[in-house]
Amino acid sequence: MKKNDLSVLQENCFCFCDEEISREAPFQVPINIPEGFTVDSAEAAAAVTWSTDNLTCISEPCLIQTGPEIEDIGVRYAVRVQGTVTLLVSVSPVRNQYGQGNGSVSVIYDEEIDQVVYYAAQSDRCPDFSQITVEDLLIVPPFYGSPLTVTGTLVLPPSPDPQSYVFTANSGDSTVSVIDAAANLVVAAIPFASVPTDLGVTPDKAYTYVLHGNTNLVSVIDNQTLTVTNTITVGIGPRKIQFDSEGEFAYVMAGGSIYIIDLALQAVSSVFAIPNAADFALDPNGQFVFTANTAFWSIDQYDVNTGQLVDSLVNEFEYPSLIETPYAGEFAYVMNGELWPKSVTEISLSPLSRGGNLNRSFEVLRAIVFSFDSTRAYLLEPYIDPFLTDNLTVVNTAANTIIANVSVPGAFDIAVTPDNQYMYAAQPGDNTVTVYRTSDYTAVTVIPVGAGPSAIAM
């Protein structure tokens, strides 16, 4: 959204999206026990049923800052739940003054609701009210003449489906830009004290882990709130992260070692050394780490449970320096070659053995990215016009053959959508991300992001 558009929005009374998100609505219901009856609050239990017939959803457009400049403004929708929830609150057992009989007493209570439950890129993302729950029921006994009280919390529904985000690590201004993939719009710019140099999204899409290559830190972004919720200390200079397919562990290469992070605890659970490794990749089954060893020109295999070296491919490569594994399949691609040009070789992971080279030489690769179904590999070279324009090579992994050579100007890193329909290219020289259609590799849209986007993940 540019400056002229902003003035129009302000004329229409748009304001910034500054209201806090809250999905919890505490309630407190007084219950008068009829004369002659008693309730033992130590043994009594409360029950609640509710009706949402008088509850509505309102989508309110508001403005967000999408970048460092004052004119970098976008529109988002605050989804507000408004109205009343009618509660039927019961307490039992209720006995007469002689302790006889087991009955219950109930009251009807209306809880007023008026709060923003989440922000969305589209205006039609109202929640499903049938997903409202009640938690933390507690009976508070009467005191100083007050009635018995039942307290609890109404938990309002989450977004009807998870937001799909694309994240860029912007080394030029130490931010992470968050792109809503449905709208191709930057919806947040998350600042950091340390430079973000790489990042990865957990398999369940709940968190984004940001590596700060100039420190020994890994930051954790909660993808629901788009806020930094934790910082994890690893070795110096973390430079790559991968996740096991079960979503239990993250593997970070830093300081000549692999740091294994327990994703449930968000803490380092173990560390093992990977001497002389220039790069690493996790096998799809999450049992082994494979490293490209530039000192001994080997591919080394480590058991992630013991940290022990279990196998090596020695004297099969000349200076292997980049390795990547797919999401599924017992193979990997390795870039090797001490000088130029470079080769890319397919290797088998089980048993560990060398396969054939791709039928093309490469200047050098910035990244090897596999599609989520592992049927395609995208090999990205630097874009140095006029010597190298077709800098993206697309490989059919089943046949190990090249099926396309594509020009992606200025791209430093890429990410591919789960359905393999679109590709996002981070372009640090232009401070942009360009979205390409993978059917013909034409540019669909260009998205301004923070300064110097050097890594991208979704």
- What's the pLDDT tens digit per position in 334-369? 999 988 889 999 999 999 999 999 988 998 999 999
User: Quick one: average pLDDT of 190-218?
Assistant: 95
Per-residue model confidence as pLDDT tens digits over 57-69: 999 888 776 545 5
Provide, rounded to the nearest whole percent, the portion of the chain with pLDDT above 70. Answer: 93
What is the DSSP code (8-state) at residue 342? Answer: B
Q: Are the beta carbons of 257 and 278 closer than 8 angstroms?
A: no
Give the per-residue pLDDT at 71. 65
Q: Which distant-in-sequence residues (6+ apart) come within 8 Å of 37 by Cβ? A: 94, 95, 96, 97, 103, 105
Which residues, listed in sequence order, are joined to residue 288 by a DSSP beta bridge? 303
Identify residue 197 by its one-letter amino acid code. Answer: T
**Residue bearing tokens 């420190």:** 215
Of the two residues 48 and 223, the one the predictor is more confident about is 48
Helix H, strand E, coil C: the string for 266-302 is CEEEEEEECCCEEEEEECCCCCEEEEEECCCCEEEEE
Give the per-residue pLDDT at 42. 82
Number of residues in the chain: 458
Give the per-residue pLDDT at 3. 39
Give the per-residue pLDDT at 70. 64
**Residue 109's pLDDT band (cuts 50, 70, 90):** very high
User: Quick one: average pLDDT of 248-256?
Assistant: 97
**Residue 227's pLDDT band (cuts 50, 70, 90):** confident
Q: Are the beta carbons of 40 and 33 closer than 8 angstroms?
A: no
- 228, 220, 201, 199: which is closest to 267 by C-alpha? 220
Ranges of each domain in the chain: 3-155, 165-457
Q: Please provide the average confidence, as pLDDT, over all residues in the chain.
A: 90
Q: Which fold has domain 165-457?
A: Methylamine Dehydrogenase; Chain H (2.130.10)
- 276, 279, 307, 273: which is closest to 291 by C-alpha? 279
Please determine, for residue 1, whether its predicted confidence score (pLDDT) is greater than 50: no
Query: Residue 136 class from Cβ within 10 Å (0-12 exposed, 13-18 middle, 19+ buried)?
Result: exposed
Give the per-residue pLDDT at 49. 95
Identify residue 193 by its one-letter amino acid code. Answer: A
**Residue 408's pLDDT band (cuts 50, 70, 90):** very high
**pTM higher than the cut 0.75:** no
**Residue bearing tokens 């408004």:** 82
User: Quick one: average pLDDT of 361-379?
Assistant: 94
**Residue 34's pLDDT band (cuts 50, 70, 90):** confident
Per-residue model confidence as pLDDT tens digits over 294-346: 999 999 999 999 999 999 999 888 999 999 999 999 999 999 998 888 999 99
The least confident of 107-116, 144-153, 205-214, 361-370 is 144-153
The least confident of 36-45, 354-363, 428-437 is 36-45
Give the per-residue pLDDT at 296. 94
Give the per-residue pLDDT at 347. 96
Tokens of 51: 């009706």
Please determine, for residue 235, whether its predicted confidence score (pLDDT) is greater than 60: yes
